[in-house]
Chains A and B, each alone.
Chain A
Amino acid sequence: MAYSEKVLSHYETPRNVGSLDKESKTVGTGIVGAPECGDVMKLQIQVDEATGKITDAKFKTFGCGSAIASSSLATEWVKGRTIDEALAIKNTEIVQELSLPPVKIHCSVLAEDAIKSAIHDYQEKNGLDHDH
């Protein structure tokens, strides 16, 4: 399968690979997917409590090139956004940005899920409301 330039760029030099301290109250961790499906994404966010903005994000992904690129892109996009702005990120935007073919749409869905799951974890840790 031919990959788009952008997928290749993220795959070859993934942005924000790594881990944040999952025990920290200001960190939200989302782990989505399953090994038997061939995709597991871990996405973490660091939130500044004063501003409510995401100051840092890290990921690790077990998955195909498109899954790696989708999660790498997701970390780039959430950085600097507020929680609500991050929640507004749609998988279709990831599809568009990376020119993912139809068989790879599930990678973008997983990346969106990973963002939501990380935010959910942060909100739960801090007793904040969440509406999903």
Chain B
Amino acid sequence: MALKLPIYMDNNATTPMDPRVLEAMLPYFTEKFGNSASRNHQFGWEAEDGVKLARKQVGELIGADPKEIIWTSGSTESNNLAIKGVADMYKDKGRHIITAVHEHKATLDPCKRLAKMGYDITWLEPGADGLITAKQVAEAIRVDTILVTIMWANNELGTINELPEIGKVCKEKGVLLHTDATQAVGKIPVDVNDAGVDLLSASAHKMYGPKGAGFLYVRRRKPRVRLTPIIDGGGHERGMRSGTLNVTGIVGLGKACELCRLEMAEETARLSKMRDRMDQAILSQLEHAVINGDPKRRLPHTTNISFPYVEGESMMMAIKEVAVSSGSACTSASLEPSYVLKALGLGDEIAHSSIRFGLGRFTTDEEVDYTIDKVVTAVKKLLELSPLYEMVLEGIDITTIEWGAH
């Protein structure tokens, strides 16, 4: 079969919807269009049934009770609700929150806002492997700590933080744990009880579901977590998130979760094999290329590789038939190297030229082969063009050069 270009290798940014998800959603646009809050007619009941099934499907994927799922528009909203909601609800108990410098903006910015309001935020820094450890969290917890918010898997690196160990530490110290599991849910086993998680965010569009639908898991027992809502209104979702439910989106999210649960083992095996093949092919042909983040504690479908002495944008241009991301989707529009890579202590010349490859359910071996070939050819060409590489070959240590200001 002929290869169709461009190739999508950016499945950490978003995923195409699985046709089976679309099929599940379709009736809810037209025939079963009711408002799930309408209690006194068939239309409402049908919609409510769809939502109920979705709650069960989400619950089964993450080991939660269906009642613990709060529907949102996606992880950005879920993170905001979790972080700001806990901060406000428990403010009399304390005002200290622990997070990490290389979290997604949807965690960093709510924390920064809280800092402006007088909360005290501890910003943990990852090791060179990109990981936040349970030990770091344990050492940062104080008597006035009300929340730890650490992502399950990092969106740029694919690295998997020390869960369930972090959860165990939080349980022992009696501190609530929120995790942004946007990149982990549906890709690797996630169980809120095993991991000692009290709040968990996820988005449907990262797991072959629709955009604009997501959820926040909020623990109901041991402990019963309470939140101050951000959106007030009709009192939907136990009062934590008002507004008529996005029934079609929720049905799609539920179906997406079900498919992920049923196919995870097989999909993980397939994708990690492809991903490892890609890593090996690239690293063996390009002497200076390095994997960013711990190569073992990683999502099966993600790899982030630096190509030193080659600039990122020219690299993207050279492999323009392959859709990838340099840095995170939101930072690649600017010339700034990614703050996530800088947090690992990478030099600018390396952070500037890193690419995240995100394989997915619909990625084929032919696409992987094409990508490997394009990347290797492009890097070889750009090294030929690179004055930095020339200096390195001449034995000059480019970190000692005093570069002119520009």
Contacts and interface: CB of A to CB of B under 8 A. Distances in A.
> Chain A, interface size: which category?
20 to 34
Interface string B345-363: 0011100100000000000
11 contacts: A31-B387, A37-B335, A37-B406, A38-B311, A38-B313, A39-B406, A60-B385, A61-B385, A62-B309, A64-B313, A65-B317
A35 B405 CA distance: 10
B209 interface: no
A35 B388 contact: yes
Interface string A12-34: 00100101000000000001111
Given A31-B387, A36-B349, A36-B403, 4 more contacts: A14-B385, A36-B352, A38-B313, A63-B314
Interface string B304-336: 000001111110010000000000000000010
A115 B269 CA distance: 54
Contacts of A17: 384-385
Interface of A: 3, 11, 14, 17, 19, 31-42, 60-65, 67-68, 106, 110
Contacts of B387: 31, 40-42, 60-62
Contacts of A60: 385-387, 390
Contacts of B106: none
B399 to A, nearest CB: 9
Contacts of A61: 385-387
A69 to B, nearest CB: 10
Please report whether the interface of chain A is mostly helix, strand, loop or mixed according to DSSP.
Answer: mixed
The 3 closest A-B pairs by CB, nearest first: A34-B403, A36-B348, A64-B313
B398 interface: yes
Interface centre among B312, B313, B348, B398 (most CB of A within 10 A): B313
